Amino acid sequence: MPISDNSQKSHVGDLPAGRPLQTDFNAEFGNDLDYPRLGTVSFRRGTLTDNQEALWDEYWPKLGTVLSDEKIDVDAWFGRPGAKTIVEIGSGTGTSTAAMAPLEADTNVIAVELYKPGLAKLLGAVVRGDIRNIRMVRGDGVEVLTRMFDEASLDGVRIFFPDPWPKARHHKRRIIQSGVLNLIATRLKPGGVLHVATDHADYAEWIKELVDVEPQLEYMGWPWEECPQLTDRQVITKFEGKGLQKDHTITEFLWRRK
C-alpha cells in the first residue's frame, strides 16, 4: 500500500534504540561502497514533553511516517499532484526547515531525520504554523532514499551541516560518500539538484575530493546563480548558526543530475 494516509496505524514513530537495520543499500549499490559500513544505526534516545507526546499522537500519523519498504506516494501524501518534491536529510530540530517552508510553498519538502525529539519539534512548528508543504520520515536517510523513493522521482535533495565525524577512524561514517552520491543521483530527476552545506573545514575538503566522483551528477560549484532552489539558503540553520558563532566558514556544494 502506498503511503498516503497512515492514520490507521496505531503506533508509528517509535524505533527501538540501536536496532540493526537490514539494509538494501549494499544490495542495490554494491558492497564495496563506503556507506553504510557499520550495519547498525543507533537511534538516539530522547524524551518528548507531554505536549509533544500529545501532538505526536494526534498529528504524526498524517504528517509523518517511519522507514519501511513501502514506496511513498508523494502526490497522495501532499494532496497536490505534480508539485516539486525535495528531500532534506538530517533536518535536526527542523527550525530552518519550518522557516523556509513559506519561501517555497509550491514545493513539497520531506524532512528525514533519525532523532525523534527533533522531528517532534518540527511537527510542532508545522502544526502551529499551519505549514502545508512539509512531511517527515523517521529513519536513516540513505535507507529512506533506497527503499521509499523511486528512481528519478525527486527534484532535489538537501543535506545541510551533516555530522562531520571529525576523527579519522570515523570518516567512513560520513554521509557524503561515493556510494551515497550514486544513490542520490539515481533518485533525482534529470535536472534535479543536490545541495550540501558544511561549516567543517575538513569535511569540506573531503567533499571537494568527491565532487566529480559520480558520473550522473554534474558539479555546478558555488555560487550557481540560476540554481532553481536557492530559496533554501535564505534561512540560517541551527548548526550553521553555531558554526558562524565560532567563525567557521560555510562551504556549499551544488550538483545537477544530468
User: Rule CB under 6 A: is residue 214 a binding residue for ligand SAM?
Assistant: no
Q: How far apart are CA 200 and CA 252, in angstroms?
A: 11
Catalytic residue among 163, 202, 212, 247: 163
Query: 110 or 217: whose CB is closer to ligand SAM?
Result: 110
Q: How far apart are CA 210 and CA 181, in angstroms?
A: 9
User: Quick one: cell of 249?
Assistant: 566558514
Which of 238, 248, 251, 252 contacts ligand SAM by CB under 6 A? Answer: 238
- Smallest gap from Cβ 240 to ligand SAM, in A, equals 6
Q: How many residues are there in the chain?
A: 258
Question: Judging by beta carbons within 10 Å of its beta carbon (0-12, 13-18, 19+), is residue 175 exposed, middle or buried?
Answer: buried
Residues in region 26-85 near ligand SAM by CB under 6 A: none
5 backbone dihedrals φ, ψ, rounded to 5°: -145, 105
State yes or no: 199 annotated in a binding site: yes
State yes or no: 239 annotated in a binding site: yes
User: Rule CB under 6 A: is residue 232 a binding residue for ligand SAM?
Assistant: no
Q: How far apart are CA 163 and CA 221, in angstroms?
A: 21
Q: How far apart are CA 104 and CA 193, in angstroms?
A: 15
State yes or no: 88 annotated in a binding site: yes
State yes or no: 113 annotated in a binding site: yes
Which of 74, 109, 114, 193 contacts ligand SAM by CB under 6 A? Answer: 114
Query: 75 or 94: whose CB is closer to ligand SAM?
Result: 94
User: Rule CB under 6 A: is residue 142 a binding residue for ligand SAM?
Assistant: yes
User: Quick one: cell of 138?
Assistant: 523517521
Cross-strand pairs, 113: 138
User: Rule CB under 6 A: is residue 162 a binding residue for ligand SAM?
Assistant: yes
50 backbone dihedrals φ, ψ, rounded to 5°: -60, -40
Catalytic site includes residue 163: yes
Which of 28, 163, 218, 252 contacts ligand SAM by CB under 6 A? Answer: 163
Which of 29, 60, 115, 224 contacts ligand SAM by CB under 6 A? Answer: 115
User: Quick one: cell of 155?
Assistant: 527534484
- Other Cβ atoms less than 10 A from the Cβ of 93: the count is 20
State yes or no: 189 annotated in a binding site: no
Q: Which sequence positions are flagged as catalytic? A: 163
Residues within the interface to ligand SAM (CB under 6 A): 89-92, 112-115, 118, 140-142, 160-163, 175, 237-240
